[in-house]
Structure 1
């Protein structure tokens, strides 16, 4: 994914906080706690404290945040003629959301119902019958709740917008006000620090400080985002906003809808969290482990260091064949090598393997 910033002055790149964006990711964590094991305590306590009525209403609209993150949580980026600034409070953010026109609100709310058209600048389902029919057809594949919500939204967007605002206000009263008050201090400090890095060290350093998944090609004037998704957007006419979140890890989200201001929504760094592996490294590791012989070699190396000759004898293949398999495993960062006297011993890096998943680790140790 790429964001074009050629000729964009550094002052048009801003770091801000957004209570509504943080609420969106808090709701996502409540719906998908498996994505966020570090938030287990908060999720358990918050879910247990929800009144049944609020829990039911959240279930009605959870497709806005469960599987991914709707752009309705970043309305400042889509208000036509707006200043591109987020609100300082949730009430201010919701006022900005009210300023988002119906076409953009409906398209963003239905993003995950009609995903194949949202990013292409297709006609609004409010005015185009084919887009409307497609949205309802795709909603039908996702269950009756999403069909009913989509029908109401397309028939009477004003009433649904009022319903959504009241839902978010009730979340604020029920649990989010205290959550935001605690998170706001850390997020404000992070945004201030990144702004100082941008001001004194430049855009490349600021992007590196945000995430190892961001890089700047200064010659091309392009920010690259290392994600398993395709997309391109242009910030040269609008500017670029970066929003930190305490709930987001491991997600790094990029708003790149046509006509909207590009936004990078990134998790604040915590020392206990691992740095993200690049998509290239992930691909190397998956390819390295796809061969049955390399899987068997990993099983040996998970238990004890082995020499190349020992592995060859164990599997009935030649030492050069073992060396070729080991070279691929080393290139993927899964095997380490150390010398003991005249012997070279190979070991499996269990930490690296564990990050690929417990099922694989348990399989090679079984």
Structure 2
């Protein structure tokens, strides 16, 4: 078994057997489209993209919108492995990726699609059982129905006609390409190209642990660079090498860092392409520090005084009836948490509330929970 589960939350990449040659970096238009469809399926989880999703939604006709909703189990939660690269080479065109999906052996399509329809990190019966054992198929359908009506409907269709489901899915993806995704792919292509070029260079020149730790601010390297752990709700250990690892950048995947670990296929990590911009993602420790700083009534009262014009420590102390040492200590706690900005002008240091940080706090909490 390649996947081993541990008591600690998070996903760990085990690099003991990994070589640079096992790591491949490249774009995937199909995976990028899935990231877009995921945002459209769960817009409330992506407040940073709401304006974009509203604008994009105006380009859809009714039938495309209905089909997007019906097929959404494949990308709403546990994104379907079918829509990530299944084999080398990477950087294929959208049309070529769809043709590979069209030619995929039916049992392989059924097994990967069934996992996506279930949308949960539990093993589904193998494709041979699903296609030849009515009892296994009925149990699978019942499990999907317990999860949601839409998943149950899609499970019924998949069990009744896997080839019909494949045709329906490919037709929908082609319609998405015509309606909006071809233009979107052109818009993000160069940005993804810069990320791919940088990571390919880093894989050749740097240690793998260093490169993989750069995928997320939550990554922790241990055991002499042979293990990299990421802050994820899922718990798994994934061996890299000799099984390949595909690193697939995405403009639309943020704040997620997506891992796919179906044992008969390469490991895939889809990560946010952040060339030329900060990712703005906090570690759990940073988020806890900010929320803890605001949990104190005294610190919250001090924040209210910092909301207007910049103010000195001594002025704050006078307003609050405290000595300068107490106020300085509180300001340091808030500054360390990123909630206060301080700037010297002449012989005085003026402090102000970091309102932008506070405005993003709710989004930061959501992003930390989602990743």
Deviations 1:211-264 (A, max 9, x none): 544454471412233445543322123121101122223332222345542211
Contact kept? 1:33, 1:40, Cα under 8 Å = no
Q: Which one is further off, 221-230 or 163-172?
A: 221-230
Residue number among 1, 6, 31 corresponding to 2:16 in the alignment: 6
User: 1:89 matched to which residue of 2?
Assistant: 93
Q: Does 1:219 align with 2:224?
A: yes
Indicate how the Cα distance of structure 1 residues 86 and 131 shifts in structure 2: closer, same or farther if over 3 A, else same.
farther
- Give unmatched runs, 5+ long, in structure 1: 77-82, 361-366
User: 2:260 matched to which residue of 1?
Assistant: 255
Normalised by the length of structure 2, the TM-score is 0.77
Contact kept? 2:111, 2:124, Cα under 8 Å = no
User: 1:40 matched to which residue of 2?
Assistant: 51
User: 1:71 matched to which residue of 2?
Assistant: 81
Residue number among 292, 300, 303 corresponding to 1:295 in the alignment: 300
Q: Relative contact order (C-alpha < 8 Å, sep 6+): which is higher? A: 2
Q: Distance in 1 between matches of 2:118 and 2:347?
A: 61
RMSD: 3.6
SS of 1:3 mapped into structure 2: strand
Indicate how the Cα distance of structure 1 residues 122 and 44 shifts in structure 2: closer, same or farther if over 3 A, else same.
closer
The total of aligned residue pairs comes to 347
Q: Distance in 1 between matches of 2:329 and 2:135?
A: 58
SS of 1:276 mapped into structure 2: coil
Q: Distance in 2 between matches of 1:222 and 1:316?
A: 52
Q: Distance in 2 between matches of 1:87 and 1:308?
A: 56
Indicate how the Cα distance of structure 1 residues 243 and 75 shifts in structure 2: closer, same or farther if over 3 A, else same.
closer
Residue number among 30, 33, 50 corresponding to 2:60 in the alignment: 50
SS of 1:295 mapped into structure 2: helix
Q: Distance in 1 between matches of 2:297 and 2:275?
A: 37
> 1:1-366 maps to which residues of 2 (within 5 A)?
1-33=11-43, 35=46, 37=48, 40-41=51-52, 43-67=53-77, 69-76=79-86, 83-86=87-90, 88-98=92-102, 99=104, 101-102=108-109, 104-112=111-119, 115=120, 117-118=121-122, 121=123, 123-124=125-126, 126=130, 133=139, 136-137=142-143, 139-142=145-148, 144-207=149-212, 210-214=215-219, 216-217=221-222, 219-227=224-232, 229-272=234-277, 274-305=279-310, 314=319, 325-337=330-342, 346-357=351-362
Q: Distance in 1 between matches of 2:39 and 2:358?
A: 26
Q: Distance in 2 between matches of 1:188 and 1:342?
A: 49
Contact kept? 2:47, 2:363, Cα under 8 Å = no
Contact kept? 2:310, 2:352, Cα under 8 Å = yes
Q: Distance in 2 between matches of 1:209 and 1:133?
A: 42
Indicate how the Cα distance of structure 1 residues 286 and 255 shifts in structure 2: closer, same or farther if over 3 A, else same.
farther
Query: What is the CA distance between 1:97 and its match in structure 2?
Result: 3.0
Deviations 1:331-358 (A, max 9, x none): 3222344567887654322232232148
Q: Which one is further off, 15-24 or 227-236?
A: 227-236
